[in-house]
Chain A
């Protein structure tokens, strides 16, 4: 029995600590996936919270046929997708670029990091969601193709193709933004 299963068992016998341990273990991974998918901080925290609430309310019905992380990430991707669909505005580029201060007092490196971060968010925002989800799970979370195929409920071939297409989008968008690949 792995660590996650122990926490789940603990939760199922009425100890909330089991659920809290799962949250502590996965909160940053979940946050980074959501943040990469939507590109905004505050909302990423809210979505992460909503995803964990879904886990809390449905953990009793989780059959443990797949890994807990697979199930969790599937919830995270679905909650994020629902959020974006409701908002009908996947990433507001202007708002994102405005979030970079015009004058920044910090070290020059920090400004460069911020600019780069904004550029990454802008470029990712242009990639269609189904390709974005695959490439974020691969390059941000470092999951294998087989894990991604289980999360997104598609074949490994589809995962491969989505990741390839996402990178093609990234490449083209970067050309548009900078005129050359960074």
Chain B
């Protein structure tokens, strides 16, 4: 029984012709006497044969090479476009304040002009309402400080 345990441990190695000479002789001697280990070996052999019967796949010669060329060229292009951005780094850092200032000034101008627009109407409304329009009131309406 102890021998069976030892042999079972060696069976895969023996089957794959990886066992040393001593181990191989030991297994073969045991197999002559032990029908259980013989059955185990035959089952393992059939499992091995079953797997090795698997069909082999084959790709056309340059199939994968072409796919890889495309993929590598694509990743290279992506890298180049990224490196262009990195190269632009210093210049863009210097140029960033210009559009930011322009945008900020534009927003300020729009806000102020829209407020003036609103206040102009307010001034017109004030005049049309028939109330007294002093210079102080008019200026206040234009600047938006007058209610």
Which of A's residues lie within 8 Å of B, judged by CB? Answer: 20, 23-24, 27-28, 31-32, 35-36, 41, 44-45, 48-49, 52-53, 56, 113, 116-117, 120, 123-124, 135-136, 138-140, 144-145, 160, 163-164, 167, 170-171, 174, 181-182
Contact = CB atoms under 8 A, between A and B. Distances in A.
A28 B44 contact: no
A48 B18 CA distance: 29
Contacts of B68: 20, 23, 49, 52-53, 56
Given A49-B71, A117-B54, 14 more contacts: A20-B68, A24-B62, A27-B59, A28-B57, A28-B59, A31-B58, A45-B64, A56-B72, A140-B52, A145-B13, A145-B16, A145-B18, A170-B51, A171-B43
Contacts of A120: 50-51, 53-54
Contacts of A174: 47, 50
A182 B59 CA distance: 29
Contacts of A35: 57
State the main secondary structure of chain B at its contact with A: helix
A139 B17 CA distance: 12
Sorted nearest first, the 7 A-B pairs with minimum C-beta distance are A164-B12, A170-B47, A139-B51, A167-B47, A27-B64, A181-B46, A171-B47
State the main secondary structure of chain A at its contact with B: helix
B113 to A, nearest CB: 56
13 contacts: A20-B69, A32-B57, A45-B59, A53-B68, A53-B72, A120-B51, A120-B54, A124-B51, A160-B13, A164-B11, A170-B50, A171-B44, A182-B46
A171 B65 CA distance: 38
A160 B23 CA distance: 14
B51 A49 contact: no
A29 B62 CA distance: 15
A32 B59 CA distance: 10
A169 to B, nearest CB: 9
Interface residues of B, number: 31
Contacts of A56: 68, 72
Contacts of B44: 164, 167, 171
B55 A167 contact: no
Nearest to B42: A181
A58 B69 CA distance: 16
B134 interface: no
Interface string B65-77: 1011101100000
B131 interface: no
Contacts of B72: 53, 56
A20 B131 CA distance: 90
Contacts of A135: 51
Given A48-B64, A53-B71, A36 B16 contact: no
